[in-house]
Amino acid sequence: MAIPKVMGIETEYGITVPGLTEFNPVLGSSMLINAYVAHTSRRVRWDYEEESPLRDARGFEHAREPAGPSEEDLGLANAILTNGARYYVDHAHPEYSTPECLCPRELVAHDKAGERILARSIERASELLPSGRRMLVYKNNTDGKGASYGCHENYLVDRETPFARLAGEVLPFFVSRQVFCGAGSLGGPVAGEFGPYQISQRADFFEAEVGLETTLKRPIVNTRDEPHADPEKYRRFHVIIGDANMSEVAILLKVGTTALTLMMIEDDAITGDFALESPVQALRRISHDPSCGATVSLRSGRAVRAVDIQWGYFEMAEKYLMRHEAPEWAGEVMARWEHVLGALETDPMSLDRELDWVAKWTLLSSYRDRDGLRWTDPKLQMMDLQYHDVREGRGLASVLARNGKLERLVPEDDVRDAVDRPPRSTRAYFRGRCLAQFPGEIAAASWDSVIFDVGGDTLRRVPMMEPLRGTEAHVKPVLDECRTAADLIGRLQG
Amino acid sequence: MAKSGGGAEHQRKKAHRHGGDGGEAGEGGQVAKKAEAAIEEADELLAEIDEVLEENAEEFVRSYVQKGGE
């Protein structure tokens, strides 16, 4: 029986100071995070004890890359927030990792909350910049000059599921899901009716089918094995193939359909064979065809469209959900999935209110038509970038949403709530509540621990190796009764 | 900003796509009105984009250089 899909999204944001060529993005990112945290809570240290980014799901450990000192050694900003999220400097980007969520809609709210947090960080950091300077932040995945930065998803899966089968069965799904979760990019060769426009920001940066790397030779299926939970029972399936989405519908579909697919794999319910002849080429071919009509070859010899592969997974999911206990959120995801696949077959452009790549295309092409611009016009490239600007009212996706041209799923009040408050139904609740309630008594925290300093000689580490313990239902009554962290430690031991 | 006529034509196509199928016989006037409203709305949106779009796009885009991440 598939385990509940605890999931989260980590986003590396693009960062720039216009007009300042010697801008240091590492320090800039640190400045953003520190400016945000200084206004909200006491800085709590990240606990690195259970981190092992070089462990491979295929069962071996890689030698440490000669990558220089770790983030911890450099003393860069690395904060845990009261909503249970981690907000830190990763490489040369500010990164926001949502807290663990148990349903796609909740994750949509927390992913959007990340944008709001970055926007607030910009406002607060601007006071620290020389006058006339401003820092800008983009939730996208490429600078259009050969660099890509990631938006990764994480899903809790059963350790018993053989990884080789998981990788093989999820691969065709990953190659084809971009037709609804691509964020759109002007970064391709000029060709045909769509000019240089392609569906995905990331497709051109992937070179391998399966592997551990994330920065070189990026693989479609990533094998990092760092569960941040009981390693005997769980994997954290680390997904690096996605685009960062502005559209709430795209986020919901991305995580909802992926969670359903992983549940089917855990229950060995993948009956169709969509193994691709050349997955890496297929990924690019699909991205470079916004008409969604191009076909790719299966190993069986059949030629199929991305939509056909997705219909295959959709139909398997339909059958699967009839025979298995369906999560509460499955109905909404299935209805959306069916709707977008139908529309992608008949008229992809009719999804301009729902999907990022279609919304952006529609906006760019109407602007281009109005002014008679060439595809290489910097104004269009600016729009391609500014679509992802996190500032409300300045980011073009937010302008579209405000004008009713990009559908919203989550009320803004819920997004604002998610800026400060953790999800209720995972261990993120315990982490976030403790941070809010005992900020002065927490020495460090991580995904799977909270370390308290309640005086005395030793720190008290509360392990949280079960992602579904520490929920509101589980710990709220206790937390409500505790005045101090020492009370809490006493209760947990008692 | 100078506006060419191309945008209006594009928007008419769009309006047809979104609203054209729903019109019943005898409601031609209403369909036309709807299309007109859609064009106006689209023009307003593009005008709003003009207002918020970063200036010096060429320089801005050229200097947007990121280090790889992940």
CA distance A124 to A32: 8
Strand order in the sheet with A442-446: A45-46, A442-446, A449-452, A460-463
Cβ burial of A456 (10 Å; 0-12, 13-18, 19+) is: exposed
Q: Name the residue of chain A whose CA is nearest to B19's CA.
A: A350
A16 and A105 in contact (C-beta within 8 Å)? Answer: no
pLDDT band at A67 (very low <50, low <70, confident <90, very high): very low
Closest-CA distance of chain A to residue B33, Å: 20
- B13 touching A (Cβ < 8 Å): no
pLDDT of residue A457: 87
Report strand pairing: A218-222 vs A206-211. Answer: parallel
Judge whether residue A170 has pLDDT over 60: yes
pLDDT of residue B19: 40
Instruction: Identify the DSSP state of A375.
Output: T
State the average pLDDT over residues A167-192.
93
pLDDT of residue B14: 39
A144 chain-B contacts, CB cut-off 8 A: 61, 64
Q: Of B6, B65, B66, which is closest to A370 when you measure between CB atoms?
A: B6
Q: Report the CATH number of the A7-351 domain.
A: 3.30.590
For chain B, what percentages of helix, strand and coil (3-state, to nearest 5) are there? 70, 0, 30
pLDDT band at A192 (very low <50, low <70, confident <90, very high): confident
Share of chain A above pLDDT 70, in %: 95
Interface test with B, best of A370, A399, A403 (most B CBs within 10 A): A370
A362 chain-B contacts, CB cut-off 8 A: 14
Measured in residues, chain B has a length of 70
C-beta neighbour count of A488 within 10 angstroms:
26
C-beta atoms of B6 and A19 within 8 A: no
Closest-CA distance of chain B to residue A316, Å: 32
Q: Cβ neighbours of residue A175 under 8 Å, at least 6 residues apart?
A: A220, A276, A279, A282, A283, A286, A296, A306, A309
- Written as one letter, the residue type at A147 is A
Q: Cβ neighbours of residue A424 under 8 Å, at least 6 residues apart?
A: A471, A472, A473
Closest-CA distance of chain A to residue B60, Å: 7
Q: Name the residue of chain B whose CA is nearest to A403's CA.
A: B45
Biggest CA pair distance of chain B:
60
CA distance A286 to A231: 36
B53 chain-A contacts, CB cut-off 8 A: 379, 382-383, 386
Report strand pairing: A442-446 vs A45-46. Answer: parallel
pLDDT of residue A190: 78
CA distance A396 to B48: 10
DSSP string, A379-440: HHHHHHHHTTB-STTTSHHHHHHHTTSS---S-HHHHHHHHHS--SSSTHHHHHHHHHH-GG
What residues 60-89 of chain A have any CB closer than 8 A to a CB of chain B? none
pLDDT of residue A61: 67
Which stretch of A317-321, A394-398, B19-23, B24-28 has the lowest confidence by average pLDDT? B19-23
Domain ranges of chain A: 7-351, 424-493
Judge whether residue B9 has pLDDT over 80: no
A76 and A30 in contact (C-beta within 8 Å)? Answer: yes
Q: Which two tokens stand for residue A429?
A: 């609740």
- B58 touching A (Cβ < 8 Å): yes
Judge whether residue A34 has pLDDT over 90: yes
pLDDT band at A57 (very low <50, low <70, confident <90, very high): confident
Q: Of A93, A370, A394, which is closest to B3 when you measure between CB atoms?
A: A370
Q: Name the residue of chain A whose CA is nearest to B46's CA.
A: A367
Q: Name the residue of chain B whose CA is nearest to A145's CA.
A: B65
CA distance A373 to A219: 36
In this predicted model, what pLDDT tens digit does every residue of B27-68 receive, in sequence order? Answer: 678 888 888 888 888 899 999 999 999 999 999 999 999 998
pLDDT band at A99 (very low <50, low <70, confident <90, very high): very high
- B55 touching A (Cβ < 8 Å): no
DSSP helix/strand/coil, A304: strand
| Residue of A238, A233, A234 whose CA lies nearest to A220 | A238
Mark whether A90 is an active-site residue.
yes
In this predicted model, what pLDDT tens digit does every residue of A435-490 receive, in sequence order? Answer: 999 999 999 999 999 999 998 888 999 999 999 999 999 999 999 999 999 999 99
State the average pLDDT over residues A171-198.
92
Q: Which two tokens stand for residue A438?
A: 């005992």
Q: Of B6, B14, B63, which is closest to A372 when you measure between CB atoms?
A: B6
Share of chain A above pLDDT 90, in %: 84
- B34 touching A (Cβ < 8 Å): no
State the average pLDDT over residues A151-158.
98
**Which one from A47, A56, A73, A90 is the annotated catalytic residue?**
A90
CA distance A271 to A427: 34
- B51 touching A (Cβ < 8 Å): no
In this predicted model, what pLDDT tens digit does every residue of A247-305 receive, in sequence order? Answer: 999 999 999 999 999 999 999 999 999 999 999 999 999 999 999 999 999 999 999 99
A150 chain-B contacts, CB cut-off 8 A: 69-70
Judge whether residue A308 has pLDDT over 90: yes
CA dihedral A73, A116, A109, B42 (to 10 degrees): -140
Quote the ipTM score.
0.90
Q: Cβ neighbours of residue A494 under 8 Å, at least 6 residues apart?
A: none
Closest-CA distance of chain B to residue A214, Å: 6
A79 and A114 in contact (C-beta within 8 Å)? Answer: no
CA distance B40 to A185: 27
pLDDT of residue A359: 98
Instruction: Identify the DSSP state of A348.
Output: G
pLDDT band at B8 (very low <50, low <70, confident <90, very high): very low
A300 and A275 in contact (C-beta within 8 Å)? Answer: yes
DSSP helix/strand/coil, A236: strand
| Residue of A443, A451, A444, A440 whose CA lies nearest to A42 | A440
Q: Of B4, B17, B53, which is closest to A370 when you measure between CB atoms?
A: B4
A363 chain-B contacts, CB cut-off 8 A: 49
**Prediction pTM value:** 0.91
Interface test with A, best of B58, B61, B62, B63 (most A CBs within 10 A): B61
State the average pLDDT over residues A120-142.
93
- A449 touching B (Cβ < 8 Å): no
Judge whether residue A220 has pLDDT over 70: yes
CA distance A357 to A336: 16
B66 chain-A contacts, CB cut-off 8 A: 14-16, 25, 92-93, 142-143, 145, 147, 149
What are the Cα distances from residue A336, in Å, to A237, A251, A252? 24, 12, 9
C-beta atoms of B67 and A25 within 8 A: yes
pLDDT band at B4 (very low <50, low <70, confident <90, very high): very low
C-beta atoms of A386 and B54 within 8 A: yes
Q: What DSSP element (H or E) covers A352?
A: none
pLDDT of residue A71: 52
| Residue of A175, A3, A201 whose CA lies nearest to A102 | A3
Average pLDDT value for chain A: 93
A91 chain-B contacts, CB cut-off 8 A: 67-70
C-beta atoms of A382 and B57 within 8 A: yes
pLDDT of residue A62: 62
A422 and A99 in contact (C-beta within 8 Å)? Answer: yes
A11 and A95 in contact (C-beta within 8 Å)? Answer: yes
CA-angle at A391, arms to A389 and A396, nearest 5°: 50
Judge whether residue A105 has pLDDT over 90: yes
pLDDT of residue A52: 73
A89 and A83 in contact (C-beta within 8 Å)? Answer: no
- A21 touching B (Cβ < 8 Å): yes
pLDDT of residue A46: 76
Judge whether residue A211 has pLDDT over 60: yes
